[in-house]
Structure 1
Amino acid sequence: MSSSILHITNGDSTTNYLKKLHFSGDFITWREMLCEGKTTTDVGSETFWKNRFSFLKSSYNISKKKFINYTLKEYRNLCNKKETKEIVLWFEHDLFCQINMIAVISWLKKYRKGYHISLVCSGKIKGSKKLKGLSELTENQIHQHYKNRVDLTQDDIEYADYIWELYCSDSPLRLEAVYKFNPMSPFQYLAAAIEAHLLRFPSIKNGLNSIENTILETANTHQLSSKDELVHKLLKNQTTYGFGDIQYEHQIEQLQKLFTSFNPVKLSRKGKKVLENQMNFYSELRDENSYLGGAKKYSFLFNNQSEKLLQITS
C-alpha cells in the first residue's frame, strides 16, 4: 500500500528528526549542494549528474562510489515514488537550502505535474533574533511549521523554476534584475539567498568575494590557534550561506597564499594588503573552471559602490 505523503527533506538531520517525531509518510533526503559548482537546468538528467560528479570529485575528492551511494541512490528512490499524490518539501532559509529547494521544485514541475506540493521552510521564529534550521526547532515548533505549511500554486512552481533557470544561465545579470520583484511569493527567504549568491562573485576592489573577505577579516580580527578554530568561528557567525565545515575548508584552501600560518592563524603581508583593498588578488584566484550555477565565477565582478555586477569582456 502506498503512503499518502512523501516528505522531501534538506538533509539527514531533518529526516532523522521527523522520523523520531513519528511523522507519517515516506522520506527522501535531497543530498546535494547545488549552491556550489556548475549546474544545468535539467535536474536529474545524465548531463546534470555528470556535471555534479565532475565538480564534487575535483573540488571535494568525492569518490564515484560515495556519489552513487549517497546521492544517486536516493535520487533513484525519489524517481520510483510516483504513487504519492501529496509531497511536502522541508527546507531552510539559507542559500545552501534555497538553491536545492528551487532545483527540486523544477524537477517536480517536470516529473510530478498535478501533484499537491506544499512547503515547510524554517527561519524566523517568534522570540528569537537568530534564524533557525529545522533540526533546531522544538517538537511544538516543528509541528506548528507543518500545520502552517504553504500549498504551492502552479504560479509558485513556475516562479521557482524560472529562478532556477536564471541561476543556471551563463550570466547572472538577468537573475540580478528580477530576483527582488515578486513580493507575493511564498518563498520568503529566496531573495536574501539570491542576494548572498550574487555577492559570491569577486569584488572589483580586491578580487575576493564576500565569503573570502569574511574569511580574511575573521582571521585578522580574532586570535585563532588553528584552522579548525577559524572554521568553527566562520560557521558560528554565518547567517545566510548555510555552509558546512568542508565548504569553508575548501574556501580557505583557495586562499592559503594569503596566510603565513594556520597554527596559529596568521595573515601574510599580502593577505593584509588584499584585505585593506591595497592589492587585487583576482588574477591569482582566477579559474576558468570555477562556476556559480551556470555562470563562470571570474567572468563577472561585483561593483561595491553600485552594488551591481559587471561582465568582463575579453
Structure 2
Amino acid sequence: MGTSTLHITNGDSTTNYLKKLQFSGEFITWREMLCEGKTTSDVGSETFWKNRFEFFQTSYKISKRKFIDYTVKEYRSLCNKKEQKEIVLWFDNDLFCQINMLAVVSWLKRFRKGYQISLVSNSNLKNTGKNDSLSQLNPDDITEQFKNRVNLNQDDIEYADYIWQLYCSDSPLRLETVYKFNPMSPFKYLATALEVHLQRFPSIENGLNIVENTIIKTANKHQFTSKKQLVNQLINEQEVFGFGDIQYDHRIDRLQKLFSSFNPVKLSKQGKQVLENQLNLYGQLRSEISYLGGSKKYSFLFNNQSKKLLKITS
C-alpha cells in the first residue's frame, strides 16, 4: 500500500473508509451513475459530459454548479494524477458499480496505457456468505480483499472496453449475445449485472421494466406506513441493482399513478391491474428521451418468456 498507488473508488463511503483505515496512496472517487441516462463511449469528452449533465438536469434537477463541483472536478483531478505506478479499482458487484467500472477501465485504456491496473471487489470472503458492499466490510476483510486483488492484463482491459462500447451503442442486441461468453474474465459479476441491465427495457407483458415491477411487487407484498419504508426495503432486498434512495424515489415518482396512497403505501386499482399483467403501461410511460446507455429505453421490449429483447420498428 505504497504512495505510488492510485485508488479509484465506487463512492465517498469507500474512499472515506479506506482513508480511515490508513490505506496509503492517492484517492479518486468516481461520482457517477452511468447505469442511468444516455452515455457515449468517449468517457471524459465534452460530448460525454454534456450528455451526462443534460440527464442529471432533466431527471434529477441537478444544477450545473453542483454537477461540476461534485463530479467534473473529481474527474479533472483524476486527469492530473499520472505519477502512480499502480491503479487500484474498488467497485462492488452490483449493476450500478459494474457499469461505472466499465467506463473507468475504458478511460484507463485510452489515457493510462501501460499502467498496472488491479481490481478489488466485494467477493470471495472466506468467513462469511454475506454480500456486504466494500464500505461495509470489516477491516480484516477489506484488507484481505485488497491483498487478493486481481491484476488486469491487456486482454481484460480490451474486453471491458469492448463491453462498454456495446453498452453505449444504439442497440443492446449485440450486448445480449456477447456478455455471457467469456468464462475466463476476471469481471466475475459483470455477466449478472448485464443480464439485469437487459431486463431494464420494458417488459412485453405490462410495459414496466424489472426495477419498476420490483417496486410495485414489493409495495404489494408488504404493509408500509410510508414511502421511506418502501424505499428502505427495496435498498435492503435488491442488492443486484445497487440503487440508493435517490434512484428509487425518482422511479416511484414516475409510477405515481400506480399508487393510491403513500401513507400508508397502497397500490391503486390501475397499479394492481399492471401488477397482474391485465394492463400494459408502455404507451403511457414511453419517452423519447429515456436512455439506457446508448439505447433508447422504449425502442426495445423484453420478452419474459424467451428472456430476449425485441426491437420495436416504427
Judge same fold: TM > 0.5, yes or no.
yes
Taking the aligned partners of 2:124 and 2:308, their CA distance within structure 1 comes to 28
User: Residue 268 in 1 paired to residue 273 in 2?
Assistant: no
- Helix, strand or coil at the partner of 1:6: strand
- Helix, strand or coil at the partner of 1:59: helix
Please list every run of 5 or more consecutive structure 2 residues that lacks an aligned counterpart in the other structure.
none
- Helix, strand or coil at the partner of 1:122: coil
Structure-2 change in CA distance of 1:134 and 1:285 (3 Å): same
Aligned to 1:277: 277
Q: Residues 125-179 of structure 1, C-alpha deviation per residue, up to 9 Å, x if partnerless?
A: 3343332210111111111111111110000000000000000000000000000
Tell me, yes or no, if the aligned pair for 1:5 and 1:24 is still in contact at 8 Å: yes
Question: What amino acid is the match of 1:209?
Answer: N
What are the equivalent positions in structure 2 for 1:19-58 lying under 5 Å apart? 19-58=19-58
- Helix, strand or coil at the partner of 1:92: coil
Tell me, yes or no, if the aligned pair for 1:150 and 1:186 is still in contact at 8 Å: yes
Aligned to 2:185: 185
- Aligned-pair distance for 1:124? 4.6
- Helix, strand or coil at the partner of 1:42: coil
Tell me, yes or no, if the aligned pair for 1:124 and 1:130 is still in contact at 8 Å: no
Tell me, yes or no, if the aligned pair for 1:124 and 1:131 is still in contact at 8 Å: no
- Helix, strand or coil at the partner of 1:266: strand
Structure-2 change in CA distance of 1:91 and 1:217 (3 Å): same
User: Residue 95 in 1 paired to residue 95 in 2?
Assistant: yes
Taking the aligned partners of 1:26 and 1:129, their CA distance within structure 2 comes to 31
What are the equivalent positions in structure 2 for 1:1-314 lying under 5 Å apart? 3-314=3-314
- Helix, strand or coil at the partner of 1:302: strand
Runs (4+) of structure 1 moved beyond 2 Å? Answer: 123-130
What's the TM-score once normalised by structure 1's chain length? 0.98
- Helix, strand or coil at the partner of 1:22: coil
- Helix, strand or coil at the partner of 1:135: helix
Among all aligned residue pairs of Structure 1 and Structure 2, give the percentage whose two residues are the same amino acid. Answer: 72
Please list every run of 5 or more consecutive structure 1 residues that lacks an aligned counterpart in the other structure.
none
What's the TM-score once normalised by structure 2's chain length? 0.98
Question: What amino acid is the match of 1:163?
Answer: I
Q: Residues 274-301 of structure 1, C-alpha deviation per residue, up to 9 Å, x if partnerless?
A: 1000110100000010000000000000
- Helix, strand or coil at the partner of 2:27: strand
Taking the aligned partners of 2:127 and 2:251, their CA distance within structure 1 comes to 34
Taking the aligned partners of 1:231 and 1:203, their CA distance within structure 2 comes to 22
Question: What amino acid is the match of 2:261?
Answer: S
Taking the aligned partners of 1:124 and 1:11, their CA distance within structure 2 comes to 21
